[in-house]
Chains A and B, each alone.
Chain A
Amino acid sequence: MGGFPILSLMLLVPFIGAIACLFSEAKTARIIALVATLANLGLGIVLWASYDIGGAQWQFTERADLFAGFQWALGIDGIALMLLVLTVFLMPICIGASWSSITKRVGEYMAAFLMVEVLIIGVFTAQDLLLFYIFFEAGLIPMYLIIGVWGGDNRIYASYKFFLYTLLGSVLMLIAMLWMVREAGTSDIPTLMAYDFPAGAQTWLFLAFFASFAVKMPMWPVHTWLPDAHVQAPTAGSIILAGVLLKMGGYGFIRFSLPMFPEASAQFGWLIWSLSMVAVVVTSLIALVQADMKKLIAYSSVAHMAIVTIGLFAFNVQGLEGAMVVMLSHGLVSGALFLCVGIIYDRLHTREIARYGGLAINMPMYAMFFLLFTMASIGLPGTSGFVGEFLSLAGIYQVSSWVALVCTTGIILGAAYMLLLYRRVAFGDQVNADAAAMKDINVREWLMLAPLAAAALWMGVYPESFLAPMRKDIATLDARLARAAPHGDAKLVITEKAAAADEHAAHEGAH
């Protein structure tokens, strides 16, 4: 693509769309938003197709000096590419999900969504620390509005909670960033990723960043904003929140915390592991007793994100790649699950699980999709959920068998709460007349669900398409972390000298 500023264009398209939406009436706004997001999806596919796997680490770079060393610097590596593609893939689905369910202030709503897209793309493409910060924090505002204006009955509480929490770490992160810029003399992210901060300073920098990313992730115990935000948000808000916004935390860890503060990351490994272990068990158990569908899926998100953090902090290739695939997969699958909830919410206007039942009878197509995403969520091999979960857990096992054991219990609890949900919604007899009268999915809904289903299966059967662009970047990161990586507790020890030689030969043979 040469010097063509495709990343700036991807920011510009939804931005212009957003402004146009503000001044349009409902019908036009919908079409503008759909066209803008589809155009960006097209650009995203072009980006993916022309990304040079194994080429330069940073591609499609753009750089323009603004003021005081502050730069308009964009560029992506394989990791950012995949998250970017996820974002532009989910956006048209979000617009589709809001097509008929949003009826008031449609122009503003679509504008807010397009702004969310701009800011998220900015987060994943920014190569300047301050530029990143601006995108990262500004992303809160349209999301806050989406929940606060178009949300459910308790939307004000939820949006304040969302805002308070996510703002919590921001100030600390900003201070840390300013210190880093002064210390390293640059705000260029690629340079900072290779800069060795003194180990003592790393500790504080790590904690400052951690405060922000842990909330975004969200990690236990700063996760309580998520269930409320999801429950109150409109369907599309939930999709984008679970699908992409949560990934900003994971992206922060993999882009900043790990490469910039490798020693501190290793030092705080125990903290991440402990919080992740607690998250997997506790939030899964909480999900088990929920009566509200969205809350249930929101809690399951927290458990899934814990698998991301243990993968990231396994300090090996399997863990890192696994964490990335979990993020991508969760983006698709939890997005799809919220969409599934939205579809029946549009018909019955309740999220209460007990109000449904026997949907497999009157909505067989819907039941099939819902089943597929349920299975992907509990990590059935052949779906996207498995690949990431398996690699993450395989990664952490090499570091700590305890953490692996505790986190693997998630596959049991996950199966329990998701299948219980599925049973109560789709199985059983039709007990509620109004639920029994609901029509199966229409063409618009099919058009949203089918691509998600195809993507989830593709990622499960042939994840190479997604792993290949990231491989080199993960290897680079792994090499950088090697010096700090903790020793595993499960290492093999050959006890008999005589056997050692044999084993070694066998071991070599195995390679």
Chain B
Amino acid sequence: MSSILIIVFAPLLASIIAGLGNRHIGNVPAKIITTAGLFISCGLSWPIFIHYLGGDVPAQVVPVLKWVQSGSMSFDWALRVDTLTAIMLVVITSVSALVHLYSWGYMDEDPDQPRFFAYLSLFTFAMLMLVTADNLVQMFFGWEGVGLASYLLIGFWFKKPSAGAAAIKAFVVNRVGDLGFMLGIFGTFLVFQTTSIPEILAAAPALKGASSIGFLGMRVDTMTVLCLLLFVGAMGKSAQLGLHTWLPDAMEGPTPVSALIHAATMVTAGVFMVCRLSPMFEAAPIALGVVTFIGAATCLFAATVGTTQWDIKRVIAYSTCSQLGYMFFAAGVGAYGAAMFHLFTHAFFKALLFLGAGSVIHAMHHEQDMRFYGGLRRHIPITFWAMMAGTLAITGVGVYHLGVGFAGFFSKDAIIEVAYASGTEVGRFAFWIGVFAALLTSFYSWRLMFLTFWGKPRWIQSEHIQHAVHDAHGHHDDHADYAHTAHDDRAHAAHADHGHDDHAHDHGDGTGGYHPHESPLVMLIPLIVLSVGAVAAGQVFKGAFLDTAAFWNGSIAYNEHLMHAMHEVPYLVKYAALIVMLLGLLIAWYGYIRNTNFPRSVAEQLGPVYRFLFNKWYFDQLYHVVFIKPALWLGRQFWQRGDVGLIDRFGPNGAAWLVDRGAVLAKKVQSGYLTSYALVMLLGLVAAISWVLV
């Protein structure tokens, strides 16, 4: 199966050509090469996936190159394909190909297009290396590679200070997780004497509860500590509670990036890792409990914050964070198939939502604040219907007895049911959290839809729109979107000075004379394709993902008993998600269409709670006080007081001072007066004689 070589390396090659060629080869060739590379990868990936859908297909490994051999530690570059990888291949290449295509339209005015497409392809390559890894170290290569691409793409509009800060934050917070991942690899090597994933997974079950390992001076259960360390890595990459702070800020990147990296693929790497290593986690029940708990906690946390945000991308970002929590607690209760299924469907509908949001933002001249939207469904109907498909999918619309539903219905309900069916205490906890989070999901998703597409236009007050109108009226030139983004801050500053009404021509309908237009075809095609996925992916693939052990064929720990129990849960549990979805819809409808004063009065009544949620549980502020400020303070202390004040002062400078003083003394002795020399000689003579005599 050498097609895997093409799948993985075509994006790398395209990235190198576009990246090094950059402005020399021009926009169009760079875009054609990278997009073509991705469509080739995508075209080759689907046959592999369909092949695996047949069931009972064994894993294949294509060796590429020797990497490192050091004593008993050795790991090579190799591409491994099994069911789990095949799923990820289609997810990554499909979404990436569509995002490449979409970016033709979205980034059309940007002066740096080759660089953008090179980064996108580079990301895809790294992500493919991650999912095809046959050993932990190559997985770590992909892991850090996607981190690099993410860093570059978040900071793509590097002139914006906020983009640069967000890029660093993403990289550094991920590195905290990587610390755990690296220690996990070291520990795994120490225990199993290999980094090869199949060998580790084969040996792991025998160690369940049967051994202990020293860690930080304690003796702890081997598998528990290894799995927890690796899970810290997963938490960083998948933005789980505590290490999630980078994800909302990552929305500084262009929206296609958010769709590809921060929704569909990279952030699911942690879930992929836990599933890939599922036999290890199965040998560590305590670690699984932690995974469940963290997953559920994230799910709740992110959903609560998502209900209060105004930025359309941030709402979707918190929604992603929350959905990742679902995947983790599914894995935590042992339903890796359900976790992967949700990962699969989520990739389509979340990419759809992001690209839809991108289309809205494109139409609204880079305005992202939903308070300045309204009534857009008449202006951009295709985008509206695509977003509608995504919303129906994420909120899990479907009816159990009819057996029909959107993608999220099958995957999210499976997770909620399996948490209930797991029968463990933490599983039950996750179940309740899952149901409540589903209510919140429904609420914030419909809130987004209602604020954006229903009601009256409200964008007259938007600075971005005013800017656009002003430009159009003033200069009559087709102004670059990019320029607006890059000059956001200046624009803001300028408008703050001028006041808002100077430029706005009130046409009496809240539009200020600005009429949003539907996006070009290259942006709409991906939306339509993904809409199909959001509608149908659950229906088509649920049998394979949830109920077929032969499909997985040992690539994850498939618990037949649990998956069976999942189908036996009471009807109330099966309908719980649908009920809360309707409830959420109702609340959102009441608050954002029926009685638009309702949300404000609720927010006022719940003052402290609202502020707590709106400020994202104060994580950023907390980390700033606890980590960033002390680190800088310590750095200054160690430098000024340690290096300069202590080491230099008493070290070299002290030595120099001593020599200096010594020289002064010596100079005094050598006074040049004959009498003092004579005195010294006399004293010396006396001393010598008395020493000899005594």
Binding site for B on A (CB under 8 A): 160-161, 164-165, 221-222, 224-225, 227, 282, 285-290, 316-318, 321-322, 358, 360-361, 364, 368, 375, 380-382, 386-387, 390-391, 393-394, 397-398, 401-402, 404-405, 408-409, 411-413, 415-416, 419-420, 423, 426-429, 461-464, 467, 471, 475, 478, 488-496, 499-500, 502-503, 505-507, 509-511
Hey, what's the 0/1 contact readout for B630-641 against A, CB within 8 Å counting as 1? Answer: 011011101100
Q: Does B471 contact A (CB under 8 A)?
A: no
Closest to B644 in A: A224
**B15 CB to nearest A CB, Å:** 13
User: Which residue on chain A has the smallest CB distance to residue B151?
Assistant: A419
Q: Are B140 and A381 in contact (CB under 8 A)?
A: yes
CB proximity of B32 to chain A, nearest CB, Å: 21
Of residues B141, B164, B167, B638, which shows the largest number of chain A Cβ atoms within 10 Å of its Cβ?
Answer: B638
Residue in A160, A285, A318, A506 whose beta carbon sits within 8 Å of that of B202 in the complex: A506
Residue of A nearest to B75 (CB): A390
Contacts of B307 in A (CB 8 A): none
Q: Contact: B631 with A494, CB < 8 Å?
A: no
Contact in complex: B175, A494 (CB < 8 Å)? no
Do B652 and A411 have beta carbons less than 8 Å apart? no
- Contact, CB under 8 Å: A382 / B141: yes
Residues B634 and A285 in contact, CB atoms below 8 Å apart:
yes
Taking CB atoms and an 8 Å cut-off, the chain B residues in 190-204 that contact chain A are: 190-194, 199-200, 202-203
B381 at the interface (CB under 8 A from A): no
Interface centre among A285, A358, A488 (most CB of B within 10 A): A285
Is B73 among interface residues, defined by CB-CB distance under 8 A? yes
Asked whether B635 lies within 8 Å of A285 as measured between CB atoms, the reply is yes
| Residues of B near any A CB (own CB < 8 A) | 19, 22-23, 65-73, 77, 137, 140-141, 143-145, 148, 151, 155, 158-159, 161, 163-165, 167-168, 171-172, 175-176, 178-179, 182-183, 185-187, 189-194, 199-200, 202-203, 206-207, 209-217, 219, 222, 631-632, 634-636, 638-639, 642-644, 647-648, 651-652, 655-656
**Cβ-closest chain B residue relative to A396:** B186
Chain A residues whose C-beta falls within 8 Å of the C-beta of B172 in the assembled complex? 412, 415-416, 419
Least CB separation from A424: chain B residue:
B164
| 26 A-B contacts (beta carbon < 8 Å) | A224-B644, A285-B631, A287-B635, A289-B639, A316-B71, A317-B70, A317-B73, A318-B71, A361-B159, A386-B141, A393-B182, A397-B187, A402-B217, A411-B178, A427-B158, A428-B159, A491-B190, A492-B211, A492-B213, A494-B210, A494-B211, A499-B206, A503-B210, A509-B202, A510-B193, A510-B194
Closest chain B CB from A435 CB (angstroms): 14
**A321 proximity list for chain B (CB < 8 A):** 70-71
Q: For A419, what are the chain B residues with a Cβ–Cβ distance below 8 Å? A: 151, 167-168, 171-172
Q: How far is the CB of B178 from chain A (nearest CB, A)?
A: 6
Q: A408-B179, A427-B155, A510-B199 are in contact. List 12 more A-B contacts (CB 8 A).
A: A287-B635, A375-B148, A380-B144, A397-B183, A404-B186, A411-B178, A419-B168, A427-B167, A461-B67, A462-B65, A492-B191, A502-B210
B145 to nearest A CB, angstroms?
Answer: 7
Find chain A residues with CB under 8 A from B206 CB: 499, 502-503, 505-506
Q: Are A317 and B158 in contact (CB under 8 A)?
A: no
Q: Find the residue from B23, B183, B632 having the highest chain A CB count within 10 A.
A: B183
Chain A residue numbers with a CB within 8 Å of B171 are 415, 419
Closest to B173 in A: A412
Contact A224 B158 (CB under 8 A): no
Q: Give chain B nearest CB distance to A370 CB in angstroms.
A: 13
Contact, CB under 8 Å: A282 / B642: yes
Smallest CB-CB separation from B659: which chain A residue? A164
Q: Is the CB of A164 within 8 A of B652?
A: yes
Of A394, A416, A420, A505, the contact of B186 (CB 8 Å cutoff): A394
Specify which chain A residues have a CB less than 8 angstroms from the CB of B631 in the assembled complex. Answer: 285, 288, 413, 416
Once bound together, how far apart are the Cα atoms of A108 and B545, in whole Å? Answer: 74
**Residue on B with the closest CB to A295?**
B639
Q: Nearest-CB distance from B128 to chain A (Å)?
A: 14
A391 B68 Cβ-Cβ under 8 A: yes
Find chain B residues with CB under 8 A from A506 CB: 202-203, 206-207
Q: How far is the CA of A402 from the CA of B144 in the complex (A)?
A: 24
Complex: A368 Cα to B20 Cα, angstroms: 9
A408 touches B22 (CB 8 A): no
The smallest beta-carbon distance between B198 and chain A, in angstroms, is 10
Provide the bound-state CA to CA distance between A413 and B638, in Å: 15
B489–chain A nearest beta-carbon distance, Å = 9
A507 near B203: Cβ-Cβ < 8 Å: yes
A510 near B651 with CB under 8 A, answer no
Q: How close is B147's CB to chain A, nearest CB, in angstroms?
A: 8
Q: How far is the CA of A289 from the CA of B165 in the complex (A)?
A: 16
B216 contacts A405, C-beta separation under 8 Å: yes
CA distance A224 to B194 in the complex (A): 40
Bound together, the chains give a CA A317 to CA B69 distance in angstroms of 10
User: Which B residues are CB-close (under 8 A) to A490?
Assistant: 187, 190, 213-215
Contact between B175 and A499, CB atoms less than 8 A apart? no
A394 touches B73 (CB 8 A): yes
Whether the Cβ atoms of A509 and B210 lie closer than 8 Å is: no
CB distance from B119 to the nearest CB of A (A): 11
Q: List, in ascending order, chain A residues with CB within 8 A of B632's CB.
A: 288-289
* Distance of A115 Cα from B171 Cα, bound (Å): 43
Task: Given the known inter-chain contacts A282-B642, A492-B222, please indicate yes or no for A224 contacting B651, CB distance below 8 A.
Answer: yes
> Quick check: A164 and B655 within 8 Å, CB to CB?
yes
Whether B213 pairs with A493 at a CB distance below 8 angstroms is yes
Q: Which one, A289, A361, A408, A423, contacts B164 given CB within 8 A?
A: A423
- Given A317-B70, A411-B179, A507-B192, CB of A401 within 8 Å of CB of B642: no
Residues of the A chain whose Cβ atoms lie less than 8 Å from the Cβ of B143: 381
Contact check, B213 vs A427: say whether CB atoms are below 8 A apart: no
**In the complex, the 4 A-B pairs of residues with the closest C-beta atoms, listed nearest first:** A317-B71, A499-B210, A397-B186, A381-B141
Bound-complex Cα distance A224 to B644 (A) = 8
Q: Which residues of A contact B219 (CB under 8 A)?
A: 493
Q: CA A200 – CA B648 in complex, angstroms?
A: 33
Complex-state Cα separation, A229 to B376, whole angstroms? 63
A401 touches B202 (CB 8 A): no
Report how far A38 CA is from B651 CA in the complex, Å: 40
Look across to chain A and name the residue whose beta carbon is closest to the beta carbon of B490. A429
Query: A224-B648, A391-B70 known; A495 and B211 CB under 8 Å?
Result: yes
Residues of B within 8 A of A464 (CB): 66-69
CB distance from B155 to the nearest CB of A (A): 6
Contacting pair A225 B199 (CB below 8 A): no
A428 touches B179 (CB 8 A): no
In the complex with contacts A382-B141, A493-B213, A478-B200 CB distance below 8 A? no
Chain B residues lying within 8 Å of A412, measured Cβ to Cβ, are 172, 175-176, 179
Chain A residues with Cβ under 8 A from B186's Cβ? 393-394, 397-398, 404
Q: Are A510 and B635 in contact (CB under 8 A)?
A: no
Q: Is the CB of A382 within 8 A of B145?
A: yes
- Give the complex CA separation of A428 and B194 in angstroms: 44
Q: How near does chain A come to B11, taking the closest CB pair, in angstroms?
A: 15
Question: How far apart are A258's CB and chain B's nearest CB, in angstroms?
Answer: 16
Contacts of A398 in B (CB 8 A): 186, 190
Contacts of B651 in A (CB 8 A): 221-222, 224
Q: A419-B172, A507-B203 are in contact. Are A322 and B192 (CB under 8 A)?
A: no
From residue B248, how far is it (CB to closest CB) to chain A in Å? 19
Note all chain A residues with C-beta closer than 8 A to B23.
364
B70 near A322: Cβ-Cβ < 8 Å: yes
Q: How far is the CB of A494 from chain B (nearest CB, A)?
A: 5
CA distance A288 to B213 in the complex (A): 35
When distances are taken between beta carbons in the complex, the residues of chain B under 8 Å from A467 are 68-70
Say whether B73 contacts A461, CB under 8 Å.
no
Q: With A and B bound together, what is the CA distance between A461 and B64 in angstroms?
A: 11
Bound CA–CA A386/B22 (angstroms)? 27
Distance of B520 from chain A, by nearest CB (Å): 28
Q: Inside 8 A of B66's CB, which chain A residues have their CB?
A: 462, 464
Contact B635 A288 (CB under 8 A): yes
Contact B190 A495 (CB under 8 A): no
Output the least CB separation between A281 and chain B (Å).
Answer: 9
| A387: chain B residues within 8 A (beta carbon) | 68
